[in-house]
A and B are shown apart, each in its own frame.
Chain A
């Protein structure tokens, strides 16, 4: 049981390049989230999805796009990377907000934009 898998684990981009981060979960969870973590700022929500085919903006969505074409996958895209997007990105999933379950996080993607 893999849980939540993120790829890639590390990436270096040049300013202006694009990339897609993949999050895959095998727990049949409805809710999925993308967070970024920066020193001293905790985790900030970028986008989230409450089911296949749905997406919504979080706290810091600018510069990012997402898609959830399949229930198990949640993709985060950077169309034109900027140095301010250097961060550690975590994907998380959750079964349902009505149950007493927390988030299951992926292992993270460390992105550097130069």
Chain B
């Protein structure tokens, strides 16, 4: 079953913060986060493993709550380059590494 992302869209001004959430009804082994620019392929941002720590990538970080099967992506002091669609991908233990993606969250950063 597809994980649910919220919100569906976010509009920010440069320097503002945002949080994108991803919830799954399945027990998860890991959660991935990807960013896709318009007309391009998704690009891997980070992976959160079961039992792992919060990860960070520049001013983008994420957490994974195993009890709730939820992950959150935190974007701080947003930049114009952060604009794009963010997808979470969930990996259940028996899934041979295949990911089930959420429907995406469109992030728009204005000057």
- Measured CB to CB, the residues of A under 8 A from B are 31, 33, 35, 40-45, 48, 50, 56, 58-59, 90, 94, 96-97, 100-108
Chain A residues within 8 Å of B96, by CB: 31, 48, 50, 56, 97
Contact A48 B98 (CB under 8 A): yes
Chain B residues within 8 Å of A94, by CB: 97
Chain B residues within 8 Å of A58, by CB: 98
- Measured CB to CB, the residues of B under 8 A from A are 2, 29, 32, 34, 40-47, 49, 87, 89, 91, 95-104
How many Å lie between the Cα of A102 and that of B71 in the bound state? 16
Contact A90 B42 (CB under 8 A): yes
Q: Report if A100-B49 is in contact (Cβ < 8 Å); known contacts: A41-B103, A48-B96.
A: yes
How many Å lie between the Cα of A74 and that of B28 in the bound state? 27
Contact A42 B2 (CB under 8 A): yes
How many Å lie between the Cα of A111 and that of B106 in the bound state? 23
